[in-house]
Amino acid sequence: MAEGFDAVDVIRTKRDGGTLSDGQIDWVIDAYTRGVVADEQMSALAMAILLRGMTRAEIARWTAAMIATGERMSFAQLGKPTADKHSTGGVGDKITLPLAPLVAAFGVAVPQLSGRGLGHTGGTLDKLESIAGWRASLSNEEMMAQLADVGAVICAAGSGLAPADKKLYALRDVTGTVESIPLIASSIMSKKIAEGTGALVLDVKVGSGAFMKTQTDAAELAQTMVALGTDAGVKTVALLTDMSTPLGLTAGNALEVAESVEVLAGGGPADVVELTVALAREMLQAAGVDEDPAPALVDGRAMDVWRRMIAAQGGSPDAPLPVARESHVVTAPSSGTLTRLDALAVGVAAWRLGAGRARKEDVVQAGAGVVIHAKPGDPVTSGQPLLTLYTDEPDRFARALEALDGSFDISADSAFTPPPLILERYA
């Protein structure tokens, strides 16, 4: 069959700073998915987009073209509002675990399609798989039944949602084009729009442990994704949140599950509770529910949904979580106030201990990771434990400790105020 466009012409248009037409975009995404456009041609186009950028109209059309390569889900039959959350990834970011059952406790269905960790950012599915028996893969029918019964599901996205994105993301990963804001935005939003949720709240991280290192870049990404969602008829809100310091007091898989359960039991670290409640409030408002979610963390409603959600996916909510065989304590070299704990360094350390993967096929250790004993603003004394490292393989400690070299500052001056957790809101 004759093709409507030529890949080289499309590449040249963007290379020279031009605007791609709707027809060019529709064709190149479809043709790449069909294998007509070669990997080297699409990688050249992705690099041209990285260097030249895209207009709002181009990004919207690119996103729509990726959605059109697969199926679109609908939750209309549930008869209740739906809301989802997406985080751009960070260190210690276990927020999805308490958030989904918290929002579901108010009658809003939460179809949370999540992913696995790669590099220093943890994956929600990896965390939940540390619970005995829990399974990530559900059919669309199982997902719909669980949403109707329990109100919340956290599972892997099916292969039918935006298959062009899966192919293009793998290519970007090996061609140095992951950082393109138009391509990041369309990658995230093509899957979320195809998923069919009525409302979407975006947690866009900024700081050393985030994908976006500067607030300017994070704001551009947030505003681009809000525009894409809004244009597609999805009520979309974004919060810019700080990721210069790890979230909570754990980075790992089973370690973060345990901390999430503490939050659902009415306790847990203040920053995890603050962000969970803030995102829940946004999700509820976007779904048309005007209630304060905070009490449901204290009175057991959210915990009840959590237990039912875990059990519905084969997990045992009462089973003991895996514990690593080996541990190593990092102590404070001096007394004073902890003024910095670098999120990226802690994330890389947890990854090297076995909590993350370098390649998609790598196996993660359920018990590996880092427990944090002091956060910026806390007073510390010389010799006090700052971090405890956990792994099943003691030969991993050396490289984890290398990652933590220079990762924290202790000041004799006690006058230190940590930055706010929530930096901006876009709607």
Structural domain contains residue 58: no
Q: What one-letter code names the amino acid at 298?
A: V
CB-CB contact of 200 with 86 (8 Å) = yes
Helix (H/G/I), strand (E/B), else coil: 326 = strand
Q: Starting from the edge strand earliest in sequence, which strands make up the sheet with 408-411, in order?
A: 379-380, 336-341, 408-411
Interstrand relation of 250-252 and 369-372 (parallel, antiparallel or unpaired)? antiparallel
CATH of the domain at 405: 3.90.1170.30
Is the Cβ–Cβ distance between 226 and 202 less than 8 Å? yes
Residue 29: domain span: 7-53
Identify the burial level of 333 via C-beta atoms within 10 angstroms of its C-beta, where 0-12 means exposed, 13-18 middle and 19 or more buried.
exposed
- 21 secondary structure, DSSP code: P
Reduce the DSSP state of residue 46 to 3 states and report it. helix
Structure-block tokens of residue 40: 């080297």
In a domain, 155, yes or no: yes
Query: Does some domain include residue 290?
Result: yes
82 and 200 housed in the same domain: yes
Helix (H) or strand (E) segment spanning residue 329? strand 326-331
- Token pair for 195: 């998923």
Are 112 and 237 in the same domain? yes
Instruction: Take residue 86 and report the two structure tokens written for it.
Output: 């997406």
> Is residue 70 domain-resident?
no
Question: Are 80 and 48 in the same domain?
Answer: no
Q: What is the pLDDT of residue 125?
A: 94
Final residue belonging to a domain, choices 288, 312, 336 = 312
Residues 298 and 230 in one domain: yes
Element (H, E) at 114: strand 110-114
Q: How many domains does the chain have?
A: 3
229 shares its domain with 362:
no
Total Cβ atoms within 10 A of residue 94: 29
Domain CATH number, residue 84: 3.40.1030.10
Answer yes or no: do 253 and 330 share one domain: no
Tens of each residue's pLDDT in the chain, 427 residues: 678 899 999 999 999 999 999 999 999 999 999 999 999 999 999 999 999 999 999 999 999 999 999 999 999 999 999 999 999 989 999 999 999 999 999 999 999 988 877 667 778 999 999 999 999 999 989 999 999 999 999 999 877 889 999 899 889 988 889 889 999 999 999 999 999 999 999 999 999 999 899 999 999 999 999 999 999 999 999 999 999 999 999 999 999 999 999 999 999 999 999 999 999 999 999 999 999 999 999 999 999 999 999 999 999 999 999 999 999 999 999 999 999 999 999 999 999 999 987 776 778 999 999 999 999 999 999 999 999 999 999 999 999 999 999 999 999 987 888 889 999 999 9
> What is the pLDDT, as a whole number, of residue 310?
98
Set 127, 167, 191, 205: catalytic member: 191
pTM score, whole prediction: 0.94
Which pLDDT score is estimated for 118? 66
Q: Are 207 and 243 in contact (CB under 8 A)?
A: yes
Q: Are 369 and 355 in contact (CB under 8 A)?
A: yes
User: In Å, what is the CA distance from 227 to each residue of 59, 195, 397?
Assistant: 10, 17, 44
**Number of other residues whose CB lies within 10 A of the CB of residue 344:** 21
Q: Are residues 308 and 342 in the same domain?
A: no
CB-CB contact of 155 with 143 (8 Å): yes
Q: CB atoms < 10 A from the CB of 107, how many?
A: 13
> Would you say residue 370 lies in a domain?
yes
My answer on whether 302 and 348 are in the same domain is no
**What's the confidence (pLDDT) of residue 1?**
63
Task: Give yes or no for a contact between 84 and 235, defined as CB atoms under 8 angstroms apart.
Answer: no
Cα 112–114–116 angle (5° rounding)? 165
Same-domain check for residues 138 and 269: yes
Q: Give residue 117's pLDDT.
A: 72
CB 70 within 8 A of CB 222: no
Which pair of tokens denotes residue 280?
A: 């829940």
Instruction: Point out the catalytic residue in the list 85, 86, 127, 340.
Output: 86
Residues 284 and 290: their CA atoms lie apart, in Å, by 7
* 167 among known catalytic residues: no
Task: Provide the strand spans (E) within 77-198.
Answer: 83-87, 110-114, 152-156
- Tokens encoding 383: 């010799």
Q: Are residues 221 and 142 in the same domain?
A: yes
266-275: list long-range contacts, CB under 8 Å, 24+ apart. Answer: 266/297, 266/298, 268/98, 271/247, 271/375, 271/421, 272/94, 272/95, 272/98, 272/247, 272/248, 273/297, 274/421, 274/422, 275/95, 275/203, 275/241, 275/247, 275/421, 275/422
Question: Catalytic: 187?
Answer: yes
Query: Which residue, 284, 312, 340, sits at the end of a domain?
Result: 312
H or E segment and range at residue 337: strand 336-341
Last residue of a domain, one of 262, 280, 312: 312
β-bridge partners, 415: none
- Please count the CA atoms within 13 angstroms of the CA of 398 that sit on its side-chain side: 1
- Catalytic position from the list 43, 87, 114, 187: 187
In a domain, 406, yes or no: yes
Structure tokens at 273: 């509770």
Residue 352 lies in a domain: yes
Q: What is the CATH number of the domain that holds 47?
A: 1.20.970.10
State whether 366 and 308 are in the same domain: no
Phi, psi (degrees; rounded to nearest 5) at 419: -65, 160
The reported pLDDT for the residue numbered 141 is 92
Task: Assess if residue 44 is contained within a domain.
Answer: yes
Cβ–Cβ under 8 Å, residues 4 and 28: no
Known catalytic membership, residue 165: yes
Tokens of 375: 């956060």
Of the listed 30, 93, 126, 165, which one is catalytic? 165
Q: Give yes or no: residues 99 and 224 share one domain.
A: yes
Catalytic residue (choose from 14, 172, 205, 340): 172
